[in-house]
Structure 1
Amino acid sequence: MRIMAFPEGESLESWLNKATHPTNRQEDWEYIIGFCDQINKELEGPQIAVRLLVHKIHSQEWEALQALTVLEACMKNCGRRFHNEISRYRFLNELIKVVSPKYMGDSVSDKVKNKIIEMLYSWTVVFPNEAKIADAYQTLKRQGLVKSDPELTVDKSLIPSPPTRPKNPVFDNEDMGKLLAELLRSKNPEDLQEANRLIKNMVKEDEARVQKIAKRNNTLEEVNNNVKLLSEMLSHYDRDRSSDADRELIKVRSYLTTINVYRMCTPRKFKEMALKFLSIRWLS
């Protein structure tokens, strides 16, 4: 199996393009799972993903079959938020168009059409309370496009799990999450604007936190390098042979290194540990 290093900031569209690329010789599960994970990370992941999947399902046979495999993976890994999008007529009608000769059916391969029929049937079994899914499947039956129910083992992993919680700073604060949910449910334009403002502010706060961590890591690396250099300088230090400039340089480096760590460590315990770790005998 090949080992991949996925770049951060990869978009849903980029994940899906790689997962369904026409030149793929087989399903590329690294990118399929990457697409699923990205859906769970984004606030509007399911909505965006469904629109992208529709376009791929309407493509050539191999690309469409790969997209249907991705869709199955999303149903297993992306929870209730994704299931809710799939259960809308807007999406289900797109699947019907692929199968129905009134739309695309005559130009679509049997493999793709049969795969869609099997998936719809399995969803009617796993989600018996989703009337729109059942209605979509019955529509195909009424049109004579499904003669009998497919014989297949229903995948129990599709059974609904607790809602997937997006990995987004907006949802980390429980009180803020409740307030945001109330604002988003409101039909008042001012409430929706306020919700949008809250989301933007919290995302900015999270970005600032990430930048702060990155800066701290860089400082730690600098401190580590200085400590190594100081240790090497001290190991070769000879009071009788070293010049005043050498002693002053060691003093300055030791002082700056200690100050850098002290600034980073807010809790007293960490300050004490850092100062103890960096304690270097001052040279006179």
Structure 2
Amino acid sequence: MSPPGVSGKLLRRVRRACRPSLDEPNIALNLEICDLINQKQGNLPREAAVAVVRLVNSRDPQIAELALTLLDYLVKNCGYPIHLQISRKEFLNELVKRFPERPPAAYTRIQRLILGEIAEWVQTICRTSRYKEDLGYIRDMYRLLRSKGYDFPAVKSEDAAVLNPSDNLKSVEELREEERVAQSAKLQELIRRGRPQDLKKANEMMKIMSGFKEDDELEQTKKKVESELEKVGRKADLLNEMLDNATNAGKIDSEDDTLYDLISAVRVARPKLQKIISEESGDDDAVAKLLALNDKLNAVLKKSDLLTGGHAADAAQVKVPGSSDAVGDLIDFDDDDDSAPADSGSALGGSTINPQNSVAFDLLGSGDTSSSGAKQPSVDPLADLLGDLGDLSIGTPSTNVTTGSSTIAGVVSPMSSESPAPVSDSVALGVSGRSSFTAIRKPTPFSESSNLKITFTVNSKLGSNVDITFHFSNLSITKSITNMQFSLAVTKRFQLLLQPASGSDLKPGVTDGLTQVAHITQRENQQFDSLKLKFKCSYKLDGVGTVDSGMVSASV
């Protein structure tokens, strides 16, 4: 007999979903069970997990298979409360209860399905969940079964995509609601265990949930939303560039999956952004930035709709806020233009070109520059197109901006904590016209402002290829540098690949604390002795947005 109330309703539906008379899973009933758990929460996630895992061990294979299907629906639709339950030792031991000590010669269908479920959890939620540290027992069970000789099937990409987090924009309130659900699930589990250490943790969690104790997660959530908003802005900028190319061609390439993915991502983000604007109604500065981003999304989507409808001329008239209007003059940044006056600033084995009169300087932001090549921003540096485009360059972070008869290869790469370790100080410089190498250890000045010093080292140069490592130092002895992003562009004769940097923060007085590697290739496979490099390094100095930028004539 089922218990009364919601628990009874849940258990009755679980038994109905797994009754042996069903020839195939009842999808509607499975989703109904998921909805009931999501709506009521409380102890229902645990009761559902316990009931389902018992049915998985049924001697009737039809019941067991239906129960595993229901379990898959619960994991993919009920979020962290169910993830926490399937990560308990008791649940996992019950799940593999009928597995022999050594693998059989041939697995049963139920055993294959269970191994597939565990492999899917390990490769998705155990790696990508915000609460992956709570799911350690799943990884332990996976390793234990492998050590005993069990083989796991390959995980289908479409199944993994459901469990992996999407990049859809979420508001602070939506993320906070997810956190509240997770905290409530943790609290339920801690109280159920009842051990002294668990009750102590439960007491701390109740203080946070009731507002008596500051929740450190709030600031992290706000930073996460800010980061996601920046990504949306970068996607809109990249989409605008691709739409400009499509406008020149007169139509959208129907086979360009990347373009359509960007359109879809921006379209999905727009209503979410409007919800975030309503939540930030008390912060005028934040609202102003959000409204500017909203105008950009509206303009980009209007341009895409016009192009899709075959109105290329009308699309060309749409102005996207925040986009550079000087893109058509990028031909000025050419290998043959050496007429710009030299500056007294540092250079890559040469002199720094004053970019003040160069229209192409708009690629990296325009404005007054100091003699050191540092520029104080007139706008938020994090909102600049080129300065933040790197997140969209996955795998091959090179992008070509085509303007008439001239092409500039521009590559941007954000500072990343997952980048390779810095290269050794002992590097090699190729001698022009030969294949011999001369060792070089001392970095050469590249740019220096009152806050930030950039030097470089040539790792190697052979024929039409050169590898350069940039080194970043914080010259301030009192202020920290954070959120650093280094952008670089080369002229049309070259191709540039900028690797992720070794980090994004520099403590006061740190010398050569960060590094970033650039690979440059002459497109026609010819040897070269000099380069023109346009750079911008945006960062926050004790929270204040700052930009150092310039154009450098380099001898390599």
Offset at residue 30 of structure 1 (A): 1.6
Offset at residue 15 of structure 1 (A): 0.9
Offset at residue 84 of structure 1 (A): 0.7
Q: CA–CA distance in 1 between the matches of 2:16 and 2:199?
A: 38
Q: CA–CA distance in 2 between the matches of 1:43 and 1:29?
A: 24
- Counting aligned pairs with the same residue, the percent is 27
Q: CA–CA distance in 2 between the matches of 1:86 and 1:113?
A: 17
SS at match of 1:155: helix
The aligned counterpart of 2:122 is 124
CA RMSD of aligned residues (A): 3.5
**Aligned 1:58-207 pairs, distance under 5 A:** 58-59=57-58, 60-98=60-98, 100-102=99-101, 110-126=108-124, 127-128=126-127, 129=132, 130-146=135-151, 149-150=153-154, 152-153=156-157, 154-159=159-164, 163=178, 187=199
Offset at residue 187 of structure 1 (A): 2.8
Offset at residue 51 of structure 1 (A): 0.8
SS at match of 1:133: helix
Unaligned 5+ segments in structure 2 are 167-174, 192-196, 204-556
Q: CA–CA distance in 1 between the matches of 2:14 and 2:115?
A: 22
Offset at residue 135 of structure 1 (A): 1.2
Q: CA–CA distance in 2 between the matches of 1:155 and 1:11?
A: 31
**Given the two structures, how large is their TM-score scaled by the length of structure 1?**
0.51
1:57 and 2:56 matched: yes
Count of residue pairs the alignment pairs up = 168
The aligned counterpart of 1:218 is none
Distance 1:160 1:57, change over 3 A: farther
Could you list the per-position Cα deviations for residues 66-120 of structure 1 after superposition, in whole angstroms to 9, with x for gaps in the alignment? 111111111111111111111111111112223x2249x87x9711000010110
The aligned counterpart of 1:29 is 27
Q: CA–CA distance in 2 between the matches of 1:63 and 1:149?
A: 22
Conserved 8 A contact 2:119-2:155: no
User: Which one scores higher on RCO, CA 8 angstroms, separation ≥ 6?
Assistant: 1
Conserved 8 A contact 1:21-1:63: yes
Offset at residue 149 of structure 1 (A): 4.7
Q: CA–CA distance in 1 between the matches of 2:141 and 2:19?
A: 29
Conserved 8 A contact 1:61-1:109: no
Could you list the per-position Cα deviations for residues 193-225 of structure 1 after superposition, in whole angstroms to 9, with x for gaps in the alignment? xxxxxxxxxxxxxxxxxxxxxxxxxxxxxxxxx
Letter in 2 for 1:28: N
Conserved 8 A contact 2:11-2:51: yes
Offset at residue 12 of structure 1 (A): 1.1
**Aligned 1:231-242 pairs, distance under 5 A:** none
Offset at residue 150 of structure 1 (A): 2.7
Distance 1:53 1:160, change over 3 A: farther
Deviates more, 1:21-30 or 1:8-17: 8-17
SS at match of 2:19: coil
Distance 1:186 1:135, change over 3 A: closer
The aligned counterpart of 1:268 is none
Deviates more, 1:65-74 or 1:125-134: 125-134
Deviates more, 1:17-26 or 1:150-159: 150-159
Q: CA–CA distance in 2 between the matches of 1:143 and 1:34?
A: 38
SS at match of 2:37: helix
Conserved 8 A contact 1:81-1:164: no
Conserved 8 A contact 2:122-2:138: yes
**Given the two structures, how large is their TM-score scaled by the length of structure 2?**
0.27
Letter in 2 for 1:115: L
Conserved 8 A contact 1:96-1:136: no
Letter in 1 for 2:136: A
The aligned counterpart of 1:200 is none
SS at match of 1:23: coil
Conserved 8 A contact 1:39-1:45: yes
Distance 1:165 1:32, change over 3 A: farther
Conserved 8 A contact 2:37-2:78: yes
The aligned counterpart of 1:46 is 45
Q: CA–CA distance in 1 between the matches of 2:155 and 2:35?
A: 31
Conserved 8 A contact 1:27-1:66: yes
SS at match of 2:110: helix
Conserved 8 A contact 2:123-2:160: no
Structure 1 outlier segments of 4+, above 2 Å: 128-131, 148-155, 159-166, 183-188
Offset at residue 165 of structure 1 (A): 6.4
SS at match of 1:97: coil
Conserved 8 A contact 1:57-1:63: yes
Conserved 8 A contact 1:96-1:140: no
Letter in 2 for 1:61: P
